Structure 1
Amino acid sequence: MKRMAEEVREWQEDCSSLVWLKPQDRKVIEVGAELRTDGEGREPFNSLGVAVGFRHIRSSFMQADSRSITKYKYRLLVFGVFATTIRLSLVMITSSAASFLHAAAALVCIILLLRTILLFKSLLYLLTRYWRWVEDRTQFYQTFKIPRYDNDGLQENPLYRKAAAYIASLPAVEDSDHTDLFSSGIRSNDFSAHLAPGQTVHDSFLHSRLFWTSHPDTGLILRLRRQDRYRVLRPYLQHVENAAVEIEIRRKEIRLYTNFSAHRWGSGVTMTHPATLETVAMDPEVKSRVKVDLESFLKGRNYYARLGRVWKRSYLLQGPPGTGKSSFAAAMARFLCYDVYDLDLSLVSDSADIRSLLLTTTPRSLILVEDLDRYSARSWMLNFMDGVFSCCGEGRVMVYTASGGKGIDDPAVIRPGRVDVRIHFPLCDFMTFKTLASCYLGVKDHKLYTEVEEGFQTGGRISPAEVGEIMIANRGSSTRAIKSVINSLRRSASFGAVEKRIRIMDGVCGVGGIGIRKEGKVRELRKIYSFSRLSSRIRREGRMAVGGSAAAGELEKSS
């Protein structure tokens, strides 16, 4: 306290010795000197730097003369106003408020310190990037290209697919300047980042830095230091393949590909078809046999190799439209966890196109060929079913669908080696109806089931797809849905009886020589039946009746 009092007195004496000061300036100095300490001799503003400011002004002021006093006069005046304001505030606040000022001052110091640290980290980050930039340009690097296809452009490079999956899992992809984001079609809130074309990410392996660059035309570029290529390259590629296999197993997303031309498959989309072997409506015994056959095939790789046979399996799904052939193929792919290649044969002209498409499919995939009966007469189709190129790739499952057209029962088409398992998909029966009712309506038993069974026994014909459509439209009321199915069965039974009677009459008239044409009778009957189905569908869906032109258009389509 004595030191502070002496300092204040020295300050006042120094100011009084400056006779050239004006009275108002001298008053400002005296107020500042009083503010230097409070009544108890403490220095409440040292933490804020006020005392330091006073010392600075004092030393500067004492060294000045009358010629340069104007410069320090205004500086002292501003500081005096600030000091006077603080002095008046101290009179009004309590000791707790003074503690608050200490806390505020400490907070300000902490903020300034954090800001300094953050600036240091930013500076360190910039220095690190600059050092790596210099290192990249002073080191000798070896470049390896991983193309997507082989030199002929026919077969996809398996390493490219695995490397792309591995790169997408790197955390550095999200830090890239440009990143492509994708969402999962199966799981919600599941997003993945993929390296955009032209971007580069780094990876570390065995204390060596490696760089991946994506090029849309050439594929992927791997770059590492030349002195590390023998020590790092092969172990790193093995690491990439193992990690990609784990990623694919963990992902468990089935991809659906289709050929957009005669030589190329599309990029593929996630298959979201929900069908499974448990939900598909078909004969339980047939379903069980197919499931056992698929399980045996998955476990039979060594068995096929010991026999000297290609590890592949082919299935023919045969039945009328709407019986669930495509849904069953999707259920098979989901059970096998295989990607699906939907081969559109309308874009294929010869065996060369088939060969190029087969070579670009992946092993352990399901190749789906629909409407086989439309193309079975072509010679290249038979070579596709059991030719040499159909054996390229292990673990493939070939699935053909047919609607029962001409030529599908040809022994050359369904002989062993081309078709291993043949599955017939009939129209809906009573057991299939009960399975559909359990899946769509959640009904195990109903009082109207006897009428449904009677409808099937009297010749009613309806496809599982039609039953599913009726149940979806009436899912709010199981009774209304079952009644709609009963009405459809009765209409189809009556139509079948009338058609049978007309055929008998046509046969009798043909024998008598009258010459009534059977095709004309059947065509007219189909028109009437189509019109009745259209009317019932409109009533069932609660829509307004269509005009005469719409009905005529429906009759013209059915004819």
Structure 2
Amino acid sequence: MMGLDNELALFLAAAVLPAALLVLRLLYRTSLLHKLAALLQSVEDRCYVYQYYKIPQHNEHLQENQLYRKVSTYLTSLPSLEDSHHTNLFSGARSNDIVLRLDSDQAVADRFLSARVSWANEKGGEPEGRRAFVLKIRKKDKRRVLQPYLQHVFQVSDEIEQKKNEVRLFMNLDGGGRPGEGGGPRWRPVPFTHPATIDTVVMDPELKSKVKSDLESFLKSKQYYHRLGRVWKRSYLLHGASGTGKSSFAAALAKFLGYDIYDVDLSRVADDSDLKALLLQTTARSVIVVEDLDRFLEKKPTDVSLSGVLSFMDGIISCCGEERVMVFTMNGKDRVDQAVTRPGRIDVHVHFPLCDFSAFKGLASNYLGLKEHKLFPQVEEIFQAGARLSPAHIGEIMIANRSSPTRALKTVIGALQSSSEGRGAATKDGATLTGSRSGRGGNETAEPASVFCRESVHTVREFGKLYGLLKLGSRRRDNSMDLSSGEKEGSKHDGQS
């Protein structure tokens, strides 16, 4: 009888063992184990009471919620994000970077101080699909965990952003989007990868140094501005012919500060109220760029008025945010109303001239790696004869002929000779950085907040005529109150005054 029982046990073991191995193999090779764990977690969740915190992407004024951005950055660092049912993959700032982001209506778990929390990415039902992150935390843990956990999110997010050091470019969209009218956000962000830096911008070294000093001083001046009762912001006017580097300088300025860029396309703005709504949706630590302002004010293709533009520049609405730099570009500032460029509205004027020999040598160094060349004296002679081209034009010639520096210089010489007739007397030389001044007129001084206070070029010329300074030769023009990189170009331009 005992032998029979042993045989039966052996038989059952022989039958059960393969079945058990088959079940284990099935669990290992399929998702049954994962589904079982998810089922157990779901049952556990139903045994607790939870508190929910919603973090919307935009506030009631359609301004970006900085907490939303920090949470979004933090979630990309969670290893559990890879375990989410649906995860979006994006390319990063560098070509080999892959960024994971939580998909809509999906959740990801996190643990902090032994407490389990989860985040869900919720998309609203409005046409614009406003998004929000929802933090889910057990009520019994919220007093112990919530504040330390949010501080942890802030710290990790800041560390990630400092490592990335990414700048975003925001472009304004057509349509509504005004607060209270049901529209969605008007700004669309994209990664900003412009390669320009302050060091690569071709301009007078002394001028470049003063620009950098002015920006560094601005960054440290919060308490000073507040003591004066002023909003902590700075405005620049970049003026000069097309192709002289104004847009590249604006990009370099933003990268130097590490601020996001808001590129305002006025042709997409319906009217003054729409322009104000756009400004309200910008954030602190940003550079707001308006290009070709003079051309817009001349043509006025939309219902945006001069009064609306002035209010945008320094009206009450412009005070609804701090630590911002406003940059306006123009081809010719003499064509706009003096109210646009008056002291207080524009803090710093930067003139971008057509290329002279000094700037040419900088371009040759950057584009061709040339410090000296046997053709340089011939190029200098042509520049002294009054020939001018834009830095962009010369740069394109050098790029096209970069394999042969000699051919590139000969091509530049040919282009300068072709442009010399009628151009020498019509171009202004010298890059100038000045404090605020308004167009033409007598002695004008900058407001106290301006870093550089210079006389008007036209005023200097008038004194030059009165005292006969023009007889001193071609190398003495505008040598008293203006910073100029074009002094050596001579008085061949004095006849313009």
Change (3 A) 1:497 1:391: closer
Pair 1:393-2:321 in alignment: yes
User: Is the contact made by 2:117 and 2:137 (CA closer than 8 Å) also made in structure 1?
Assistant: yes
Match of 2:476 in 1: none
Q: What SS does structure 1 have at the residue aligned with 2:212?
A: helix
Match of 2:406 in 1: 479
Moved more, 123-132 or 189-198: 123-132
1:499 Cα deviation from its structure 2 partner? 9.8
Moved more, 229-238 or 457-466: 229-238
Q: State which of 262, 270, 276 in structure 2 corresponds to 1:341.
A: 262
AA paired with 2:214?
D
**Whole-Å separation in 2 of the counterparts to 1:350 and 1:407:** 22
Change (3 A) 1:120 1:477: closer
AA paired with 1:225?
R
Match of 2:457 in 1: none
Match of 1:197 in 2: 104
**Whole-Å separation in 1 of the counterparts to 2:31 and 2:290:** 59
**Whole-Å separation in 2 of the counterparts to 1:285 and 1:127:** 70
1:124 Cα deviation from its structure 2 partner? 6.9
Match of 1:50 in 2: none
After superposition, what is the alpha-carbon deviation per residue over 1:78-127, rounded to whole angstroms, capped at 9, x for unaligned? xxxxxxxxxxxxxxxxxxxxxxxxxxxxxxxxxx89x7898599887655
Q: State which of 125, 138, 145 in structure 2 corresponds to 1:225.
A: 138
Match of 2:331 in 1: 403
Match of 2:435 in 1: none
Change (3 A) 1:135 1:385: same
Match of 1:446 in 2: 373
1:341 Cα deviation from its structure 2 partner? 0.7
Pair 1:327-2:248 in alignment: yes
> What is the correspondence of 1:423-462 to structure 2 with a 5 Å cutoff?
423-462=350-389
Pair 1:140-2:49 in alignment: yes
TM-score w.r.t. length of structure 2: 0.73
Match of 1:183 in 2: 91
> What is the correspondence of 1:394-543 to structure 2 with a 5 Å cutoff?
394-404=322-332, 407-408=335-336, 410-496=337-423
Q: CA RMSD in A?
A: 2.9
After superposition, what is the alpha-carbon deviation per residue over 1:30-85, rounded to whole angstroms, capped at 9, x for unaligned? xxxxxxxxxxxxxxxxxxxxxxxxx979x99xxxxxxxxxxxxxxxxxxxxxxxxx
Higher Rg: 1
Q: State which of 262, 270, 274 in structure 2 corresponds to 1:353.
A: 274
**Whole-Å separation in 2 of the counterparts to 1:204 and 1:497:** 71
Change (3 A) 1:227 1:120: farther
User: Is the contact made by 2:27 and 2:33 (CA closer than 8 Å) also made in structure 1?
Assistant: no
Pair 1:303-2:230 in alignment: no
Unpaired runs of at least 5, structure 2: 1-5, 12-20, 125-130, 178-184, 298-304, 428-497
Match of 2:81 in 1: 173
Moved more, 193-202 or 295-304: 295-304
1:319 Cα deviation from its structure 2 partner? 0.4
**Whole-Å separation in 1 of the counterparts to 2:378 and 2:30:** 80
**Whole-Å separation in 1 of the counterparts to 2:187 and 2:228:** 35
Q: State the percentage of identical aligned residues.
A: 55
Q: What SS does structure 1 have at the residue aligned with 2:395?
A: helix
Change (3 A) 1:497 1:356: closer
Pair 1:268-2:189 in alignment: yes
AA paired with 2:313?
M
**Whole-Å separation in 1 of the counterparts to 2:7 and 2:139:** 62
Unpaired runs of at least 5, structure 1: 1-54, 61-111, 501-559
User: Is the contact made by 2:239 and 2:333 (CA closer than 8 Å) also made in structure 1?
Assistant: no
Larger RCO (CA within 8 A; separation ≥ 6) = 2
**Whole-Å separation in 1 of the counterparts to 2:150 and 2:425:** 71
More helix by share: 1
Match of 1:259 in 2: 172
**Whole-Å separation in 2 of the counterparts to 1:280 and 1:181:** 35
User: Is the contact made by 2:290 and 2:329 (CA closer than 8 Å) also made in structure 1?
Assistant: yes
User: Is the contact made by 1:155 and 1:356 (CA closer than 8 Å) also made in structure 2?
Assistant: no
Match of 1:47 in 2: none
Moved more, 301-310 or 242-251: 301-310
1:141 Cα deviation from its structure 2 partner? 1.2
Q: What SS does structure 2 have at the residue aligned with 1:290?
A: helix
Q: What SS does structure 1 have at the residue aligned with 2:350?
A: strand
Residues paired across the two proteins, number: 392
After superposition, what is the alpha-carbon deviation per residue over 1:134-157, rounded to whole angstroms, capped at 9, x for unaligned? 1112211112211112234x2222
Q: What SS does structure 1 have at the residue aligned with 2:421?
A: helix
**Whole-Å separation in 1 of the counterparts to 2:400 and 2:32:** 66
Match of 1:517 in 2: none
Match of 2:239 in 1: 318
AA paired with 2:344?
G
1:406 Cα deviation from its structure 2 partner? 5.1
